[in-house]
Amino acid sequence: MVPSAGADRVGRVRERMAVEGVDVLCLSHGADLPWLTGYRAMPLERLTVLVLPAAGEPVLVVPRLEAPRVSPQADLFTVLAWDDGDDPIDLVASLVRRSVRSPDADAGAGPVVAVSDRAWAASLLALQSALPGVTWRPSSSVTAPVRAVKDVGEIAALRAAAAAADRVAVVLQAGEVPLVGRRESDVSGDLGDLLLAEGHQQVNFAIVGSGPNAASPHHEPGARIVGPDETVVCDFGGALALGGDAGAVGYCSDITRTVYTGTPPAEIAECYEVLRAAQQAGVVAARAGVAAEAVDRATRAVIDDAGYGEHFWHRTGHGIGIEEHEDPYLVEGNGVLLEVGNAFSVEPGIYVTGRFGMRLEDIVVIGEDGEPERLNRADHAMVALGP
Ligand code: ZN
Ligand code: ZN
Ligand code: ZN
């Protein structure tokens, strides 16, 4: 957790609650709670909910046996532990009732409660029966736009995570991770080990797609043996907490580099130059005040013009922070304007089914001057690695 950030975030969240007309925010599983408080609920069946009213004291309802894990930042919330045999839904419902204006106060308009997008359905269904007359919203309607604008501490954490991922990419591109003759899953394991060695506390994914598998963007690395004269897409990332505290909330890295096991033939080398130009066009387009979808259009235009349009069939990128995928999404139809403090991937790909694939991904932040800055600096070329 970034020092002293919590109180500021609660303030920003409450401003957004007012804009959205949300009376109470109920944060359970998912990233909103650790982002706001530094506490991550265990993803088990027992109920944890932070009840944050628009005004008044926030209360964290937590199972008694997990309460010792809670070390709240001073003054952020009080802890209310429940015992096995208690009904925690009752507890949360009474806190919500206590926090909202009387439904009769405004004719017909019941209270609005926002619940974590990733809360268990079972918890939400129980809360819904306990609190009739409430209008329910996803917590992301409040938190996503706030989380999308990173503070200084968050940018520093993203920068450190990207630098660590870059160091792994440099090892890969130097040919120090053996590829040819090994299973994709073994190469993936090596990349994960390197992420940990470079300071990540957690590996989120290490996609290794070789040969025809490189044309599957979210390929699950498996038993296929990497061969000579193939593209190998390596897309890896994890979470890194500044200070290296395993219990702290980490920020994510996410980088893709494509390497070639041999000397690439002209067709693949030319295709890669298209991809590289597309990625560059996307990064350059990503300025404050520009619509998120304009970045997607910028990468796609380069790939379309080169005749590969039908082979690029995913969005250009996603926001990144405490979660590996969050707002803003760089996708056609997303007209939200980019702003200072946004952090996201720019990751076009070209996938020729059954033959080869390639992707190039950096994390980009929009700096104080409104200009894009790449956090990943590892060689953007498709490095040729001899077998
Ligand atoms: Zn992905
Ligand atoms: Zn990625
Ligand atoms: Zn990504």
Question: Tens-digit pLDDT profile for the chain (387 aa)?
Answer: 444 467 889 999 999 999 999 999 999 999 999 999 989 998 899 999 999 999 999 999 999 999 998 876 657 899 999 999 999 999 999 999 998 865 554 555 789 999 999 999 999 999 999 999 999 999 999 999 999 999 999 999 999 999 999 999 999 999 999 999 999 999 999 999 999 999 999 999 999 999 999 999 999 999 999 999 999 999 999 999 987 676 678 999 999 999 999 999 999 999 999 999 999 999 999 999 999 999 999 999 999 999 999 999 999 999 999 999 999 999 999 999 999 999 999 999 999 999 999 999 999 999 999 999 999 999 999 999 976
**How many A from CA of 130 to the centre of ligand 3?**
39
Half-sphere exposure of residue 376, counting CA atoms within 13 Å on the CB side?
Answer: 33
140 Cβ contact list (under 8 Å, min separation 6) = 32, 117, 327
- Please tell me the number of the ligand nearest to residue 233's CA: 2
| H-run or E-run covering 30 | none
Q: Residue 344 region, left (φ>0) first, then alpha (ψ -120 to 50), else beta? A: beta
Edge to edge, the sheet with strand 112-115 lists 78-82, 59-63, 49-53, 24-27, 112-115, 135-138
**25: nearest Cα among 147, 144, 138:** 138
Look at the pTM and tell me if it is higher than 0.75.
yes
**How many A from CA of 141 to the centre of ligand 3?**
22
**379: nearest Cα among 279, 281, 311:** 279
CB atoms within 10 A of CB 244: 12
**How many A from CA of 70 to the centre of ligand 3?**
31
**Domains delineated in the chain:** 5-146 (3.40.350.10), 152-374 (3.90.230.10)
**How many A from CA of 140 to the centre of ligand 1?**
20
CB 203 within 8 A of CB 196: yes
CB atoms within 10 A of CB 109: 12
Give the pLDDT confidence score for residue 311 in this predicted structure.
97
| H-run or E-run covering 28 | none
User: What's the CA gap between 34 and 72, in Å, rounded?
Assistant: 10
**232: nearest Cα among 182, 168, 296, 289:** 182
- Please tell me the number of the ligand nearest to residue 216's CA: 1
**How many A from CA of 204 to the centre of ligand 3?**
11
Task: Name the token pair of 368.
Answer: 């104080």
Nearest 10 degrees: Cα torsion 95, 96, 98, 101: 170
The DSSP code for 104 is G
- In Å, what is the CA distance from 107 to each residue of 98, 104, 110? 19, 6, 8
**How many A from CA of 254 to the centre of ligand 1?**
9
Task: Name the token pair of 53.
Answer: 């009213």
**How many A from CA of 325 to the centre of ligand 1?**
8
The string of DSSP codes covering 308-345 is: -GGG--S-SEEE-SSSSSEEEEE-TT--PBP-TT-EEE
CB atoms within 10 A of CB 297: 16
Largest Cα–Cα separation, the chain: 74
